[in-house]
Homo-oligomer: A and B are copies of this chain.
């Protein structure tokens, strides 16, 4: 048997009665196009279509899953080139990573990387100190080829649509230019207004001013501020955007009257807000966003529950997204009440909720999504975007919310090369879950075939209006 990093049966249950069912189901979805409605790749890559430079810059520096694990085992971020503007010796970083590849045993990172190593670069020996240089050279050589440019990979990955994440303060010029280019891929922005909606965001007052300039609205007033957001949403929509995204610390929502909201805005905009005001403002803005969604049709995503930048020293030296965001206990049943009581029964609204607190799956989220017409459950997120995490998501939500109150898979990645690997993991895990239901005679196999296709493809298109 030829040497491989990847076994064709990986992630399927070992049970001899169940695995064949999983394989049959997987065969029906393996080659479906990829719908990627939520992620953090860069539109610029597709526009410029330049070659990726080297494995360290491509796979390690931007991937907090990787460098946080190395850091946890005593490897300094400086050694890894994190936070420095230039990377003097990418091969040295790669060797450090290769030497510590054993740390990723049992993690999804290992699955994603092995997939890329074998599928893209034809590497079939497990990465180690011994073959670190050979890996490095092989990857570099491949990246120089035309078929490893971003647009070629987009086609190779069978991506049908790819959403980026964008601030209202971002120019959408890359997206506009892509639409006018010869590239036939569908790259769309997502409206993520945290920078102008969260008073605790870096440079919030300046951000408000910039929003005013960008939109030519008076963002010093509540009315003008809302107009600016409404206008910007439409501009996003004009270049293909179908969804907004909201990364708040909690899931709190509020439903203030117009006067109270305007007064709150004045305190927040003038820098006279206390912590309670800031939280209330974020809460109110979720309800305002829902109101705007009823007008413009954008789907809302709420991603709460991350304690950002938990490590002060790391934050001061390396900034955001340095691997020190930690999940918190998150309440949904009380927090979402105000928004749901205002708009929860609107069939025209779609609110997709995510969690980092798995105890809420069966206790709060599945019961809420199994009742409110507007609510859908986002897939297992971030630390839970993993085989065990995905399986728990299905086990803990399906019996109450069913499959059709979920929205398929989000790869949520900054690492372009990991996109097919992540979708493949998701498809395999869903096939394994469904295969067990079939093997236990809880679902017929012809139904499982329909469900797995919906989970892999159909539900994402429908939920995100793609």
Contacts and interface: CB of A to CB of B under 8 A. Distances in A.
A404 B337 CA distance: 39
B383 A362 contact: yes
Contacts of A337: 310
Interface in A290-333: 307, 310-314, 323-329, 331, 333
Contact of A102 (B73, B357, B387, B447): B447
9 shortest interchain CB distances as A-B pairs: A14-B439, A7-B441, A10-B441, A386-B399, A14-B17, A106-B398, A359-B359, A74-B347, A327-B363
A416 interface: no
A19 to B, nearest CB: 8
Nearest to A439: B14
Contacts of A314: 345
B340 A310 contact: yes
Copies held by the complex: 3
Interface in A83-128: 102-108, 110-111, 126
Contacts of A208: none
A325 B372 CA distance: 11
Given A333-B310, A345-B314, A371-B311, A105 B451 contact: yes
Given A105-B447, A389-B362, A15 B17 contact: yes
Given A323-B371, A441-B7, A387 B363 contact: no
A399 B405 CA distance: 26
Nearest to A389: B399
Most buried by B among A325, A340, A367: A367
Contact of A106 (B331, B439, B442): B442
A443 interface: yes
Given A73-B405, A311-B372, A358-B362, 13 more contacts: A10-B440, A11-B442, A14-B436, A72-B401, A103-B404, A106-B442, A107-B399, A311-B340, A311-B345, A311-B371, A314-B345, A327-B333, A362-B383
A367 B341 contact: no
A193 interface: no
A195 interface: no
Contacts of A14: 15, 17-18, 436, 439-440
Given A103-B404, A106-B403, A10 B442 contact: yes
Nearest to A311: B344
B369 A72 contact: yes
Nearest to A355: B363
A347 to B, nearest CB: 4
Contact of A400 (B16, B107, B371, B442): B107
A357 B361 CA distance: 10
A110 to B, nearest CB: 8
Query: Which bracket fits the contact residues of A?
Result: 35 or more
A437 interface: yes
18 contacts: A69-B370, A71-B371, A72-B375, A73-B404, A102-B404, A103-B404, A104-B402, A106-B398, A106-B451, A107-B399, A107-B400, A310-B340, A311-B340, A312-B341, A328-B333, A362-B383, A387-B399, A388-B395
Given A72-B372, A402-B69, A440 B12 contact: yes
A163 interface: no
Interface string A184-208: 0000000000000000000000000
Contact of A368 (B13, B326, B334, B345): B326
Contact of A387 (B331, B387, B442): B442
Nearest to A324: B371
A22 to B, nearest CB: 10
A104 B437 CA distance: 13
Contacts of A396: 388
